[in-house]
């Protein structure tokens, strides 16, 4: 069980909405995925390229 951040009512863990006040209850795991989805393909490419360069740099040492 968890509590609604809006009214403090006890809500089942799987509930997506508070039955008392209708407050939408988002899981914290969703927010962790969201930042990855928000990345553009260019940003993902730069991230991969950056980690590759870092790997090559470490091997070269």
2 touches Zn ion (CB under 5 A)? no
Alpha-carbon separation of residue 9 from 27, 28, 43, 51 (angstroms):
17, 19, 41, 46
Element (H, E) at 2: strand 2-3
Structure tokens at 45: 């490419």
In the window 17-56, what residues touch Zn ion (CB under 5 A)? 18, 20-21, 23
Q: Does 9 bind Zn ion (CB under 5 A)?
A: yes
Binding-residue total with Zn ion (CB under 5 A): 8
Q: Is residue 10 at the binding interface for Zn ion, with CB under 5 A as the rule? A: no
**Would you tell me which residues interact with Zn ion (CB under 5 A)?**
4, 6-7, 9, 18, 20-21, 23
């Amino acid at each position: 069980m968890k509590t609604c951040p809006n009214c403090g009512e006890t809500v089942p863990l799987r509930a997506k909405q508070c039955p008392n006040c209708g407050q939408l209850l988002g899981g914290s795991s969703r927010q962790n995925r969201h930042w990855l989805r928000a990345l553009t393909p260019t940003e993902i490419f730069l991230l991969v390229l950056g980690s590759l360069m870092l790997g090559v740099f470490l091997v070269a040492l």
